[in-house]
């Protein structure tokens, strides 16, 4: 099975970690965002990563991919079958993919992708606004929501944890982390999920890749 993309993308990392936690061999085929590669564009018509192939079957979108993997390889279960737990898991997946990534993209694109990869001017204000105004309510929500077990749903690892921790791995590559003084529970939770071998291997590679390209550019100003 092939995943097309780069694990600097939280969506791609989510799929790779999900596969690793299931003990699956997923091959990562490096593909740039918006790549014109016809093989990739046939799978992902709007050029968004990840794309995915299993033999003749192809699909794009991280949630579609993990849904396929869950159905085809049900054990260990990572998307709970119980209605409430499944709904909660998808809630966290969506929270990560939409709300967190709204902030995460503004930060990562303006502090790394535009200045270091695309050689384009970056919008420091947009990145600072996302870090100082969009991330805190998300961290505050997680701080009051993460159970004592250290897992978001059913007191065990599920897609919810993988999805929520993935954008924070990308942000960590440019030095944006959960402040343990303000959000101790969330900081400890993220550290523990990122320490799992499924995440740790990928994060080490991602950090090396970002560092090799010069790392994240300095913030223009810290307002909070
Ligand atoms: N909902 C999609 C989002 C995929 C997505 O937006 N990927 C970004 C990378 S983080 C991308 O490929 N952007 C390139 C573009 O929009 O051209 C998913 O879950 O896979």
**How sure is the predictor about 220, in pLDDT bands with cuts at 50, 70 and 90?**
low
Over residues 94-104, mean pLDDT: 98
CA of 61, closest atom in ligand 1: 20
CA of 49 from ligand 1 middle (Å) equals: 5
Q: Is residue 104 part of a domain?
A: yes
Residue 107 is predicted with a pLDDT of: 97
- Identify the domain containing residue 51 by its residue range: 2-72
Residue 7 is predicted with a pLDDT of: 97
CA of 48 from ligand 1 middle (Å) equals: 4
Measured CA angle at 4 (ends 77, 78), to 5 deg: 10
CA of 60, closest atom in ligand 1: 20
Q: Is residue 218 part of a domain?
A: no
Other C-beta atoms closer than 10 Å to the C-beta of 73 total: 16
Q: Is the pLDDT of residue 88 over 90?
A: yes
Q: Which of 28-37, 106-115, 198-207 has the lowest mean pLDDT?
A: 28-37
What SS3 class is residue 27?
strand
Q: Is the CB of 63 under 6 A from ligand 1?
A: yes
Over residues 213-224, mean pLDDT: 71
Q: Is the CB of 41 under 6 A from ligand 1?
A: no
Q: Is the CB of 23 under 6 A from ligand 1?
A: no
Nearest to 198 by CA among 172, 159, 224: 159
Residue 218 is predicted with a pLDDT of: 78
Residue 147 is predicted with a pLDDT of: 98
* Residue finishing a domain among 16, 37, 72: 72
Residue 83 is predicted with a pLDDT of: 98
Residue 34 is predicted with a pLDDT of: 83
Q: Are residues 206 and 139 in the same domain?
A: yes
Q: Is the CB of 214 under 6 A from ligand 1?
A: no
Average pLDDT, the chain: 96
Residue 95 is predicted with a pLDDT of: 98
Q: Are the C-beta atoms of residues 124 and 110 closer than 8 Å to each other?
A: yes
Over residues 71-93, mean pLDDT: 98
The domain that contains 14 carries what CATH number? Answer: 3.40.30.10
Q: Is the CB of 89 under 6 A from ligand 1?
A: no
Residue 223 is predicted with a pLDDT of: 45
Over residues 53-65, mean pLDDT: 98
Q: Are the C-beta atoms of residues 32 and 70 closer than 8 Å to each other?
A: no
Q: Are residues 31 and 133 in the same domain?
A: no
Which pTM does this prediction carry?
0.96
High-pLDDT (> 70) share of the chain, %: 97
pLDDT tens column, 140-194: 999 999 999 999 999 999 999 999 999 999 999 999 999 999 999 999 999 999 9
Q: Are residues 110 and 197 in the same domain?
A: yes
Q: Are residues 144 and 190 in the same domain?
A: yes
Q: Are the C-beta atoms of residues 17 and 78 closer than 8 Å to each other?
A: no
Q: Are residues 52 and 162 in the same domain?
A: no
Q: Is the CB of 117 under 6 A from ligand 1?
A: no
Q: Are residues 156 and 49 in the same domain?
A: no
**27-30 and 2-5 beta bridge pairing:** parallel
Which residues have a Cβ under 8 Å from the Cβ of 43 and sit 6 or more positions away?
Answer: 4, 51, 52, 53, 58, 59, 60
Q: Is residue 219 part of a domain?
A: no
Over residues 52-73, mean pLDDT: 98
**How sure is the predictor about 222, in pLDDT bands with cuts at 50, 70 and 90?**
very low
């Amino acid at each position: 099975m092939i995943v097309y993309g780069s694990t600097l993308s939280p969506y791609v990392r989510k799929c790779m970690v999900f596969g690793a936690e299931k003990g699956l061999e997923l091959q990562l085929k490096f593909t740039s965002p918006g790549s014109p590669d016809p093989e990739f564009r046939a799978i992902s018509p709007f050029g968004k990563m990840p794309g995915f192939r299993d033999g003749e079957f192809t699909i794009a979108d991280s949630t579609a991919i993990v849904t396929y993997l869950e159905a085809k390889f049900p054990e260990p279960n990572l998307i709970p079958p119980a209605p409430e737990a499944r709904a909660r898991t998808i809630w966290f997946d969506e929270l990560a993919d939409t709300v967190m990534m709204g902030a995460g993209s503004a930060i990562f694109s303006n502090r790394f992708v535009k200045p270091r990869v695309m050689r384009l001017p970056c919008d420091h204000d947009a990145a600072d606004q996302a870090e100082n105004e969009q991330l805190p309510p998300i961290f505050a929500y997680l701080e009051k929501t993460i159970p004592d077990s250290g897992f978001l749903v059913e007191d065990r690892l599920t897609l919810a944890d993988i999805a929520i921790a993935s954008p924070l791995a990308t942000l960590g590559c440019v030095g944006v982390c959960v402040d343990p003084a303000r959000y101790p529970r969330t900081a400890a939770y993220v550290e523990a999920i990122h320490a799992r071998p499924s995440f740790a291997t990928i994060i080490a590679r991602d950090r090396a890749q970002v560092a090799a390209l010069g790392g994240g550019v300095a913030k223009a100003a810290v307002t909070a």
